[in-house]
Structure 1
């Protein structure tokens, strides 16, 4: 959602015409995120979220479109993707592909305003998403699995910055540990894979919508659980037991975790912490974009999660989650 591609006023006019949105009144860049260029688009037809990507393939965007349509059929609270006059789920524009969504109402919540009730509701909605997509036939493999992350770390370990090289080597050890403890077949299906605080809208105390399904893929459900847990239940350098347990409780009210899933949670959680530490180094810390084009995220916040998990081990995580 950063501003990677400078789009001309004519480009926004073309988008509005292609989607039948009337005249463009105002365009506001949105500097959060890492790999796309996003804007808030005000037109005669209202307010919209416009995403321009030079990274996502046509197949990726078709998968996302089909998934959102499936979620709508199940009345799951998600974003509404608009279709241009061509009938395709995106518009080819300026060397990339544009997707346009209705602007979602609601607000984002962060610490210290998050409560156990919020987390239980969040867990419940994630469980519903996993349940409701079991009949979805679309397929997309995880583009950011262990092999990809290991390649990132091998490259970072050769970086001339000695601190980054040292961190990369530390993360490789954590990745080895995560892979070693994940064993046995476990249920797989469609996961969000990126359910951070800025990807959920709240209407008062209830979840208004999950959004930003770009990372969605077929993977182990448990990975989605702990990616979300890592994002929401860690603050001030530590995991917050009350929030962790409320989140897991809400999830299991809808979809109880099997024994093998519970056994693999630690490996997934540690992998997730390594994966997002690595991507934040690549996409934010090493990004050449200035602050007005990209809202930076400190990789050390996820490195702290990886270190905390490595220190507590599987049994410590079970105790933290009340399992």
Structure 2
């Protein structure tokens, strides 16, 4: 989450009037690279207002459908009665999830988020209309459209290692489950949010995203965290992760998020996941 489009309190209240919620105050969020997110307060109750910078109305309709289908899990409620537009970009109002984004990750945190994914992947009673945004086809489309030839060739060279990866879709996935999309209260998972890119995709990729974002501190890879995630998932999920072939999913996830950062014009941190690619390639 973050703020890319500055909005006033009056503008936001006008956009959410169909929800019968009116904010007394708004606060900008500070993290995220994709959308504009404000925390609004009404009579001491908090809400999340989101303006989608790149997503279509169809994408948001898909996200709402998913959130309603998985409401038994720790996810936000959709409060908007309809999808309103601001300069042709969709907006949505959500319930606020109490808790804190963790600063120091523990095995307890990892176990809980892995169990959440095992539950998410088990949900079958939903038809997702959104295409798999994490597919090789989408990856290659982003890669070959890069204008920076140096970065394009750098990523392309590494991609040769995983270009034959099997990304067959087999479950509903989150796909973007970084630590800043999760909250905890007293070491207990209180909620998971930002399902904008959720789709019917590959579970290995979904787990790999957690590994590359939760198992590193700076550039030190915690292999015991990695083992805990895989063992917990395989213990509690009917779907299974094959450890012997999982490395390529970790490498692909690193490349995907490095490429996405370049594609979204945030070149300053694209190298982070290329460094992680190299570390994982050497350690696993």
The TM-score with structure 2 as length reference comes to 0.91
Partner deviation per Cα, 1:7-48 (whole Å, 9 max, x = no partner): 2443212134221013x2111122321121111111237211
Aligned to 2:86: 93
Look up the SS of the partner of 2:160 in the other structure: helix
Between the aligned partners of 2:237 and 2:253, the Cα distance in structure 1 is 21
Between the aligned partners of 1:138 and 1:302, the Cα distance in structure 2 is 29
Between the aligned partners of 1:10 and 1:218, the Cα distance in structure 2 is 37
Between the aligned partners of 1:243 and 1:143, the Cα distance in structure 2 is 27
* Alignment map for 1:1-323 (pairs within 5 Å): 1-22=1-22, 24-44=23-43, 46-72=45-71, 75-84=72-81, 88=82, 90-110=83-103, 113-131=104-122, 133-156=123-146, 158-159=147-148, 165-180=149-164, 182-183=165-166, 188-258=170-240, 261-283=242-264, 285-286=266-267, 298-312=269-283, 316=284
Partner deviation per Cα, 1:248-287 (whole Å, 9 max, x = no partner): 222222215547x54542222111100111122333535x
What is the Cα deviation at residue 91 of structure 1? 1.8
CA RMSD of aligned residues (A): 2.2
Look up the SS of the partner of 1:51 in the other structure: strand
Between the aligned partners of 2:101 and 2:6, the Cα distance in structure 1 is 27
Partner deviation per Cα, 1:170-211 (whole Å, 9 max, x = no partner): 21122221122x24x866111000000000111212211111
Q: Would you say how many aligned residue pairs link Structure 1 and Structure 2?
A: 284
| Unmatched segments (≥5 aa) in structure 2 | none
Structure number with bigger Rg: 1
Look up the SS of the partner of 2:34 in the other structure: coil
**Quick one: higher RCO (CA 8 Å, sep 6+), 1 or 2?**
1
Look up the SS of the partner of 1:179 in the other structure: coil
Aligned to 1:291: none
Partner deviation per Cα, 1:199-234 (whole Å, 9 max, x = no partner): 011121221111100110111111101111111012
The TM-score with structure 1 as length reference comes to 0.80
